Amino acid sequence: MLFTRGATMSFGSGNCLDSVAYSGDGAPTTATTELFRGVHHLVHECYRPAPAAPGHASFEEIVSCAVEAAVREVHLVHVSRQDADRTRVRELVTSHRGPPRVYLPRPGDALDVT
């Protein structure tokens, strides 16, 4: 059985406090959903739109986890390089009406948590 490993970090500056959770390959589990609970930014791999490829997560799994964990924003990374998968993930992101807000970062994009 594959488990997603995750980490959470909090960053504060003045009155601002953001939390970030990052997950590598794998579908969300009960344990990682609890780890992600209430974070501002979840960075999660989304290799395919659906169904998930072995060892990876699908768009629906990630959004469902984020809703359950009350995550504010999801940033999808590690999307398949196949044009059809990438296009479908982009369509899902564009049509998603959160919460949470869902983003598909482009190479070079940065998440400012200061």
18-29 pLDDT, tens digit per residue, is 788 888 888 889
- For domain 6-103, give the CATH superfamily: Ribonuclease Z/Hydroxyacylglutathione hydrolase-like (3.60.15.10)
* Bridge partners, residue 48, by sequence: 58
Q: pLDDT averaged over the chain?
A: 83
* Per-residue pLDDT, 12: 44
Question: What is the mean predicted confidence (pLDDT) over 83-104?
Answer: 93
**Spatial CA neighbour of 39 closest among 110, 104, 111:** 111
Q: Who's near 12: CB < 8 A, 6+ residues apart?
A: 18
Q: Where are the domains of the chain?
A: 6-103
Side-by-side strand order, sheet with 6-13: 6-13, 16-23, 41-45, 73-77, 101-103
* Per-residue pLDDT, 72: 94
* Per-residue pLDDT, 48: 86
48-74 pLDDT, tens digit per residue, is 888 777 888 999 999 999 999 999 999
Asked if pLDDT for residue 6 goes beyond 50, the answer is no
User: Rounded to two decimals, what is the model's pTM?
Assistant: 0.83
Assign 3-class secondary structure to 73-92.
Answer: EEEEECCCCCHHHHHHHHHH
96/6: higher pLDDT: 96
* Per-residue pLDDT, 16: 47
pLDDT band at 114 (very low <50, low <70, confident <90, very high): low
Q: Who's near 109: CB < 8 A, 6+ residues apart?
A: none
Fill in the DSSP letter of residue 48: B
